[in-house]
Structure 1
Amino acid sequence: MSLWQRQLKRLEAIAEHITYRFRLNSLKGFVSLFLVGTLLSVALAACSGETGNNSSTEAPAASPVAASKPNVEVTLVSFAVTKAAHEAIIPKFVEQWKKDHNQTVTFKQSYAGSGTQTRAVIDGLEADVVHLALAGDTQKIEKAGLIQPGWEKEVPNNGIVSKSVAALVTRSGNPKGIKNWPDLAKDGVRLITANPKTSGVARWNFLALWDSVIKTGGDEAKATEFVTRVYQNVPILPKDAREATDTFAKQGQGDVLINYENEVLLALQNGEKVDYVVPDVNISIDNPIAVVDTNVDKHGNREVAEGFVKFLYTPEAQQEFVRLGFRPANEEVAQSKEATDKFPKVKTLGTVADLGGWEAIDQKFFADGGVFDKIQAQKKR
């Protein structure tokens, strides 16, 4: 029995005792019963509040805070190509958190295409933190009511925690002579890129192709014509960047692969021989991080989840991103010798803002019946 239930029983017993003694036969008895009745009403109102019958304007209480627990678990849901970076960063965060808070943190991790992960979280995958390929996916989770508006203002750089650009990976010796975007539209060139319906990386690839025309003076008609010719050379659309890489590298399909620069650099770091070029007209691939408010409040681990997100912006974590091929969001780290030596300068760098933002981009290019669907329909003719 809860404390308030015990108190209520005591008050009821007092009321019965007074009723027995005074029987409503005197003014004193009447006043006494009146006071007890008032006291019971107040107690019931208080108890009613405790049992959750609050007015609709009051927020429900969150579950116990993680600070009261010796161990806490965080579920990280991220897009496929961040796996190596997070596996390097997470142990550093766990060690630092243990030192600062005397609390053991464990992580559940999930990696897949950004679009796939977004749908999974909206459909019930209880992510505490999402690190996705594009802000448009995070905004979809926000619109589903799981992330509160203003998430991008809670951390530096409008929520962007890692960056990259598009790279063209070729066969050894580059037998097709691939040097820049226009080469992808040539006859006899087979291109591997993921499906922009399911992969955030693939959306960036599409936008890089489109923007390569716009940034060099072409109009939308020329951009549509060029991108259509490029996709005529795409024999298969894997579901995400990791699968696209496997299709090209392990299955031997295609002459050229569009992928994140960080994937190429990671492969080189792992001893693989990779021929590639970073086009000098490119797009800034910006990857956001966010706490999923509904889930952290349910799990009682907001403090730890927010601590992890903030840790990803520290020079220590950003250096790990650089080491594993991501361009850093931290400007100090971006100016370091390691970063400037590692990443070639891009002459013309487009942004999502140049194309109107993700809502406009999704509606125009990737919604049902959008530019991508029309290009695919032409391809099947």
Structure 2
Amino acid sequence: MTEPSDITRALRAGIGTDTSAGAVIPPIHLSTTYTFAGFNEPRAHDYARATNPTRELLADAIVTLEGGAGGIVCASGMGAITTVLLAMLKVGDSIAIPHDCYGGSWRLFHRMAERGNFTVHTIDFTDTETACESIRRLAPTVVWLETPSNPLLRITDLEPIIATSQEVGAKTVVDNTFLTPVLQRPLAMGADIVVHSTTKYLNGHSDVIGGAVVARRAEDAELCDFWAKTAGTMGTAFDSWLVLRGMRTLPVRMRAHEAGASAVAAALREHPAVRTVHYPGLPDHPGHEIAARQQGGFGGMVSFELFGEAEVRAFIDGLQCFSLAESLGGTESLVSHPVTMTHASMSPEALAKAGLSGGLLRLSVGLEDPADLIADLQAGLERVTGL
């Protein structure tokens, strides 16, 4: 038999390895501490903040999918980002971030910069030539990338940005939460580190908070592991087990999310109440060609713009198949209003610079029947038309 694919190996992580009872699904190791074999003779595991068998199974599975040399599982996506910042930056260093990144990331970067931890440079990475010129001029220590961006789904051309970052000795970190390694593998394009909010698609069931860091080089993985242990950002055993469970259906779910999102985006762009639709799978999306080249699919996120907040209120009031809530990547469909929800922590100036308006809505397209989702959205748009 030929060697199984990375997807097969990752999704079978721990299957059939239980020697005590012969369980097909690996057990959860909830113990916080482990006995030493004898005086000064620690076993493979001694204290759960440092190591845990269940958490290591999940880390190995994500590392396999991303094609990395090592990785860690954190208590949240923000915990994963914080761990990378602790590992890669010191006082006097600088980080280049997207002008339109996730609001929680923006808040962390800027609050840490205000305390003097490092300097933040904001760049529009969708303008590849100008972005590369900025990287050469600024020579940041870390270049932080998010593609597709949250929530406008803008696309960054990873290979030239990463290559330019390497020219100036910068580490490149890519937030791969929206696509997962099933649809995009930044490490294969030269990125140094990938981060995930495992809360989202990797888990896929909206019942876990978690994060992950995967590094292309072993030394970077070891450094992140050290800081996660030192700062206590490691994830728990039970949460790790739940994410591992969710990942077993990841490839199937991602294709279904994408099929639903594609149908929803096509339907939205036909309605006169919709000002703009943002979905990289649409041929007229500015980043469509780049996305088609560097991604294995277009994902399950769609955003679109109405003409104002009054229209947003009318649209949301009465939705049956979309829940008004933050987060994304679950089996259920969600709608959020970024300016007042996921990106509310950004300053008005930052929101304007990122192009986030009060009429913008973000959809996480779930696994419901796309026909039902489209009918629900169209009913909402008719309420807008009736204003």
- Comparing both structures, which one devotes a greater share of its residues to helix? 1
TM over 0.5: no
Give the TM-score normalised by the residue count of structure 1.
0.26
- Which structure's CA Rg is the greater one? 1
The higher-RCO structure (CA 8 Å, 6+ apart) is: 1
TM-score w.r.t. length of structure 2: 0.26
